[in-house]
Amino acid sequence: MKVWNRCWVGWLTAQLSAGFAQSALAQGIRNVIPKDQPPITRTFPPSPVERTPSGTGKFVIFTREEVGGKGEWDFVAAAWECIPSKPELPITKRVEFCHSSWNASPLLDVLVRDDSRDRFPRFVRLQVNAGDRDQVVNLYDVNYHTWDLRCIWQGRRLSAFGAIQENVYCRDGESWFRLKSSSGAIEQGPLPFIPLNADVSHWVVRKPGDATGEWSYDCTKQQFVARFEPVAADGVSLLSSDGRNRAWILFARPAGWEGGTIHGTMILQRAGQGTDVRVPITMQARAGSARPVIPLGVNVSFTPQGFLEFTAANHASNTLEDVWAVDVATGRTTTGKRLHQVSAPSFEVFDGVPTPEYLRSYLPQFTHFGRSGLAPAFLMHLGMLKEAPEYPDCDAAVSPDGRHVFYRAKKGPLANVFIYGNLQSKKTVQWAAPAGIKVGDVAEFVWVETP
């Protein structure tokens, strides 16, 4: 099953930030963040001769900088530019968005439902304080060549589901709209569908005029593939690679259950078949809170041989796993046991990013970082880091192609030094932190290329 580490990290960061803000204000710190402030405070654009040529890669540092006086709660969300191909230039502030308890970040970042992460970094989202326990959202369009900036949308809530070609599907509370990546125009009219979920190259959507059915939608061909009846139960779903079949793994937490063996159901839905195939399954799991049942040692997949297969670690053996398989063509079900084969990951790809061979032995200790773990792994390889840092001890990022990394330590000998690394040439560049960025300031790194 899929584990969305980066979604969890993004959600957790937001919750911790909001919780810390409420805790600080409860302790008597005075909130002086302006109300009803304009979405843009100041810009510091480069002169025409300072602008980087088209295609120049750079890291943008989105910060939340503390500006409040003693006993005051006040921060500014800003953006800084770092150009590795011009190491003689200092890290330079380009934008102060406005006062906020949060930093800005790309719209298509950690919380998208599909694989659109890192696409269209020109669209930047910032949550802004509108009261002690309220906030609004600003959406910006940033030109990383001229650093022209405009606020193109404001509302109470904003999330991005994902992108199909040049359309970014966004949600404001219960309303949906499309954002055109080529122009920044917002299309508020009726959508061709309502997105529900995403799986590889297909989305699961609600089709106009069909109040109950859920459809698989081919994002490449931009066409509906198959209709499925919704399943009214908690669980996870998986589409086959052609979008014509859908699997569900359902489980409910019994009263008094606190972990161990639990019973569930595997459902196979097939295009053109009116009856679902239902198979009782058993698995090991632990009790959770946000997710009441957390399966352990399980896997569900559509196999190349035409089966839907669910495997679960056998509770009575360290070497066997239980197997339930459904022939997709016939619906015939078989069960059995087989040797549990655990293959060590090769780390040729790390959270969707290709990795050089010389780094792969370092990566097992950075899986909880997601792809940004390539940055400390690279510095450990070079000997610039002697010990593996913990996630809160640094800020790190990697470009979508896996070639460029950026790193800042929050403590130790490299504290508050910004380090760029090229994973192909192994070249590094260092900059001292500018006066405007302190060790305690929040910083998020995003790789962009000049349009």
Instruction: Give the domain ranges of the chain.
Output: 349-449
Distance CA 96, CA 78 (A): 4
Please give the pLDDT value at position 241: 95
Please give the pLDDT value at position 112: 86
Token duo for residue 184: 């920044």
Please give the pLDDT value at position 25: 53
Token duo for residue 171: 């949600």
Distance CA 234, CA 218 (A): 25
pLDDT per residue as tens digits for the range 53-91: 999 999 999 999 999 999 999 999 999 999 999 999 999
Please calculate the CA angle 166-107-217 and round it to the nearest 5 degrees: 45
Which residues are paired to 313 by β-bridges?
321
Please give the pLDDT value at position 6: 41
Please give the pLDDT value at position 88: 96
SS (H, E, C) the chain: CCCCHHHHHHHHHHHHHHHHHHHHHHCCCEECCCCCCCCCCEECCCCHHHCCCCCCEEEEEEEEEECCCCCEECEEEEEEEECCCCCCCCCEEEEEEEECCCCCEECCCCCCCCCCCCCCCCEEEEEEEEECCEEEEEEEEECCCCCCEEEEEEECCCEEEEEECCEEEEEECCEEEEEECCCCCEECCCCCCEEEEEECCEEEEECCCCCCCEEEEECCCCEEEEEECCCCCCEEEEECCCCCEEEEEEECCCCCCCEEEEEEEEEEEECCCCCCEEEEEEEEEEECCCCCEEEECEEEEECCCCEEEEEEECCCCCCEEEEEEEECCCCCEEEEEEECCCCCCCCCEECCEECCHHHHHHHHHHHHHHHHHHHHHHHHHHCCCCCCCCHHHEEEEECCCCCEEEEEECCCCCECEEEEEECCCCCEEEEECCCCCCCCCEEEEEEEECC
CB-neighbour burial class of residue 374 (10 A; exposed 0-12, middle 13-18, buried 19+): buried
Please give the pLDDT value at position 253: 87
Which residues are paired to 259 by β-bridges?
286
Please give the pLDDT value at position 23: 52
Does the pTM exceed 0.85? yes
Please give the pLDDT value at position 201: 84
Please give the pLDDT value at position 24: 52
Distance CA 351, CA 345 (A): 12
Please give the pLDDT value at position 2: 37
Q: How many residues does the chain have?
A: 451
Sequential pLDDT tens for the chain (451 residues): 333 334 334 434 444 444 445 555 546 789 899 988 999 999 999 999 999 999 999 999 999 999 999 999 999 999 999 999 999 999 999 999 999 999 999 999 877 888 888 999 999 999 999 876 788 999 999 999 999 999 999 999 999 999 999 999 999 988 999 999 999 999 988 899 999 999 878 999 999 999 889 999 999 999 999 999 989 877 889 999 999 999 999 988 889 999 999 999 999 999 989 899 999 999 999 998 878 888 889 999 999 999 999 999 988 888 899 999 999 999 999 999 999 877 778 899 999 999 999 999 999 999 999 999 999 999 999 999 999 999 999 999 999 999 999 999 999 999 989 999 999 999 999 999 999 999 989 999 999 999 9
Residue in 102, 147, 140, 8 with CA at minimum distance from that of residue 444: 102
Please give the pLDDT value at position 20: 47
Residue in 144, 132, 171 with CA at minimum distance from that of residue 155: 171
CB 7 within 8 A of CB 110: yes
Q: Classify the phi-psi angles of 59: left when phi > 0, otherwise alpha if psi is within -120 to 50, otherwise beta.
A: beta
Which residues are paired to 151 by β-bridges?
140
Residue in 234, 194, 235, 236 with CA at minimum distance from that of residue 217: 194
Please give the pLDDT value at position 449: 97
Please give the pLDDT value at position 221: 95
Please give the pLDDT value at position 420: 98
